[in-house]
Structure 1
């Protein structure tokens, strides 16, 4: 069943409104044929029409309905921004309709079309259907009012001038005024609604692109703040080491050891910036998700009580909220999104579910993310699994219902020891444990080891030199 309805459910809100509007105006073709095409074969008081006249009227009604449908399609293209305003086509349809109605009035006077009821229904009906299509090409409401008055005038005046009766001409003009106001209001509202929905869709896409641009600016700002000072120091110390080395001063090695330390520190800081550890706060991300989704027209329900979570757990869950919010904005056509945070015995559970996921695309996305999880730094669901893995957490993602997608993150809470402080997860086992001082960072240890290696090398060189001199 989902395959049969996928052509509709996979469309965005703007696409659904556009498709519905287009097919509504396309249905005017059989409606016009049904309402006007059968009147030439009806039995009137003035006798039946000849076969040639009846067939001619039916052919004209069919051609006119196709012309109006084509004009309506081009007008809707203009409303959605795909084409220019079809001014020439609208003028051609209006001119053809006026000439045909004038010709029918002449046949009416000549006795070829003796039934006034059939003549009035065809002339007035084609004028109203033409007005329905032309209104789609107009913008201001006053132009639509002018079009209604013009259609009534262009229909009633030729009848009166041709001598078909002032009462018939006045009745036709009044009928077109009443029917034209209704049909113009309906068509104008449809065109206006389509333009508004398209504008909202473009605003939503623009908001998503602005969010991405803002994140890029943040990343660039942080990268500049981290790397600017360190690169300047590295350049100065490298230049100093070159000068000391040319003079044969042993302090050059100390400067290069310092350069090595700063480079390693810069590498660590850049990695933190890339992964966004410094700004991923759970409460901030929850409020940001509520605001961004609400601005995009998505009802966002956040059920997240205040929990006392460790900073690393909050950071990991904050990234889950940020990434899933981005996916809701970029993919699918969600109308509702629910974010639930729950504390379980020994763990915390975060669930993000939306109803705008495409069934095939969601499944494929989950499968692709699962296949890439655990293979180094990544983005999307694979990146979230990597972040959660750093705190022994897990991530499950996949369809939860037809056209719904759910992401569930579960992070175990660290137990409290005798001192009452939270115990951090144990580090991964290494084949050869590294020897270092308690609390000493890895970069400092590597720097110390490099200095020790250099000092030992220099000591051996000095002893060899002394032996040679002796």
Structure 2
């Protein structure tokens, strides 16, 4: 049972919806046999019961296979199952004709008429619903339902069914097939919408990362582009002066050195600003993003007053945890808590969907967080805490001594 439950929880929400949809149509095949196959026993001779059960079972299996292939076509993994749709239509017509013929020309008795009549109506209704899965044009679906209803009356009346009864049968098939066809169309629409929403969520996460990279690149371009242009001009001037033996060349190279050092400092400031994360802003952003993604997010605690280094380190933890939930999760609820204990700050992020949302306790994202927290003497623990739950706990001491970034070599900035 645990393995079965784990198999289900490992699936993403779209995959769960797809599995539910597929097995629903497989269940319809079982329901078809159970609904009109069981009443056959005792209602008519044994050989006729066996014949109708075989035909009914074959129709139900064909419906299930057609539904499966039609859903594959919906997901783009196979071509439209045109031949299967025509095959199902032919089998449906054969079983329906046989059932109505037995009703009018087979053994007499109300039980026989009721059992055969039930098969006649049910195979037409289930057949229309399964075929509708493999059609996209709404007009064709309307035509399919109307055609099955007209066919029901057109078959029943020539085989001896009275006119009013044939008309009532056609109306019943029209309503039943229409409802089943609508169910099929709605199921396909819902499945497609769920997958599109999931793709939109992933796209939004990628766009957020791309936007941040563009901002960072733009800031670096503004700093480096301007200063490098000045350095190039002054270096060219120094070369010309040196060739003429002018002492001013030394002054120009000194100015180049000063501008290069200034550029180095400005680049450090840009990198430091990019790396620093405000904990309050990250908490608010995480709650907004997760809520927009349909996840119930609860944030407790007040980050105001914490040292900047602590807020920056914990802000990155919140950002990475939120990214993991969005990218890998099938999460329904997430809680984020910030609290101060003695001389340390504890950040706890807990969510359900442990088998799909954690992103792995040894992934590169968590490894990067451990490195950041280690720089401020902090620790990080992450892993499942109970069935279906994943918890990430980061602890950072309040008294943090961090070397100034401006004093680090520029190469270290790029490798951190």
Q: Shorter-chain TM-score category?
A: 0.7 to 0.9
Helix, strand or coil at the partner of 2:391:
strand
Helix, strand or coil at the partner of 1:353:
strand
Out of 425, 448, 451, the residue aligned to residue 401 of structure 2 is 425
| Aligned residue-pair number | 406
Out of 225, 242, 245, the residue aligned to residue 239 of structure 2 is 242
Q: Which range is displaced more, 341-350 or 120-129?
A: 341-350
- Deviation digits for residues 410-441 of structure 1, max 9, x if unmatched? 22223xxxxxxxxx62659xxxxxxxxxxx96
Q: Distance in 2 between matches of 1:26 and 1:98?
A: 21
For structure 1, which runs of at least 5 residues remain unmatched after alignment? 370-379, 415-423, 429-439, 444-470
Q: Distance in 1 between matches of 2:258 and 2:380?
A: 36
Q: Distance in 2 between matches of 1:400 and 1:222?
A: 42
CA contact (8 A) 2:350 2:390 kept: yes
Shift of 1:78: 4.1
Q: Distance in 2 between matches of 1:261 and 1:402?
A: 60
Partner of 2:154: 157
Distance 1:170 1:277, change over 3 A: closer
Shift of 1:56: 3.2
Partner of 1:455: none
| TM-score scaled by length of structure 1 | 0.75
- Deviation digits for residues 240-270 of structure 1, max 9, x if unmatched? 3332333344554554455455445545544
Shift of 1:16: 0.6
Distance 1:324 1:260, change over 3 A: farther
Shift of 1:289: 1.3
Helix, strand or coil at the partner of 1:280:
coil
Q: Distance in 1 between matches of 2:38 and 2:272?
A: 71
Partner of 2:376: 391
In the alignment, structure 1 residue 116 sits paired with structure 2 residue 92: no
Helix, strand or coil at the partner of 2:335:
strand
Q: Distance in 2 between matches of 1:405 and 1:226?
A: 42
Q: Distance in 2 between matches of 1:342 and 1:269?
A: 35
Partner of 2:72: 77
Partner of 1:342: 339
Helix, strand or coil at the partner of 1:395:
strand
Shift of 1:216: 2.1
Partner of 1:32: 32
CA RMSD of aligned residues (A): 3.4
In the alignment, structure 1 residue 304 sits paired with structure 2 residue 289: no
Q: Distance in 2 between matches of 1:228 and 1:326?
A: 33
Structure with larger Rg: 1
CA contact (8 A) 1:272 1:278 kept: no
Distance 1:23 1:200, change over 3 A: same
For structure 2, which runs of at least 5 residues remain unmatched after alignment? 410-416
Distance 1:344 1:247, change over 3 A: farther
Q: Distance in 2 between matches of 1:235 and 1:224?
A: 16
Distance 1:267 1:355, change over 3 A: farther
